[in-house]
Structure 1
Amino acid sequence: MFTSPEERVAHLRTVEAWLEHQLNLTRTNRLNLEAQIDHDRKRRQRAHAELRWKIQPARAAEGQAMLHRGGCHLWRQEFGYLDRAEVEVALSDEHLGEIEFCDVCNPLAALGPGYR
């Protein structure tokens, strides 16, 4: 097969280069898959938020709380999402006081007729 140590070293260098190439391809594929997983996770989180609402607390004692859609960028809290039933309870609870509706994300459109 190989007669001299020089030929064996040359062969091993070729194998090493090929293995490095394969390792780089594997790393690239893994990074691409991880990026896709992250993208899908963020897309699912965004879809979850868009189907929910959130209430921004009043900024002052005399202020009013404000209802936003889950994906509204004016109130960026990434927790405390409410489903439709919870929003209906909050809107009917007289202890919470009057709740304003965000003019930017228009949460009333998602609640449907009968609110305001």
Structure 2
Amino acid sequence: MTIQRESVTNTSKLRLTGVTFPSRPERRETERARARVSWKIQPQRSHEGALLHREDCGLYKGSVGFISREDAAIALDEPDIEPCQICMPENGVPPA
């Protein structure tokens, strides 16, 4: 990798040579692959238990606090956490 600095009318630009960056479709596919192996817990509400979702589940748009496969397996063993009936996160989680 080589970094070169170019000066063009009072603005500096960095040019990287020999470096390839993933295309937009490749980045999207990487994000989708990560979403298939990440889970999130929707907090408990007063009248409902907490729900475990896959990261890409559309029912709960929480964007922080993702947990690993192992943590998801532990969460499913908790009595007050239920799996989402739409994304069915238990299908991708090994038994704890």
Would you call these one fold, judging by a TM-score over 0.5? yes
CA distance in 1, matches of 2:52, 2:42: 6
Return closer, same or farther for 1:73/1:51 CA change in 2, 3 Å cut-off.
same
Structure 1: runs of 5 or more not aligned = 1-33
Deviation of the 1:57 alpha carbon: 1.0
Q: Which moved more, 1:38-47 or 1:82-91?
A: 82-91
SS at match of 2:23: helix
Structure with the bigger percentage of helix: 1
Deviation of the 1:62 alpha carbon: 3.4
Matched-pair contact (CA < 8 Å) for 1:53–1:87: yes
Return closer, same or farther for 1:37/1:77 CA change in 2, 3 Å cut-off.
farther
Which residue of structure 2 lines up, in the alignment, with residue 79 of structure 1?
64
Does residue 89 of structure 2 align to residue 103 of structure 1?
no
Name the larger-Rg structure: 1
Structure with the bigger percentage of strand: 2
Number of equivalences: 76
CA distance in 1, matches of 2:72, 2:90: 11
Does residue 48 of structure 2 align to residue 68 of structure 1?
no
Aligned pair partner of 2:25 in 39, 64, 76: 39
CA distance in 1, matches of 2:61, 2:69: 19
SS at match of 1:105: coil
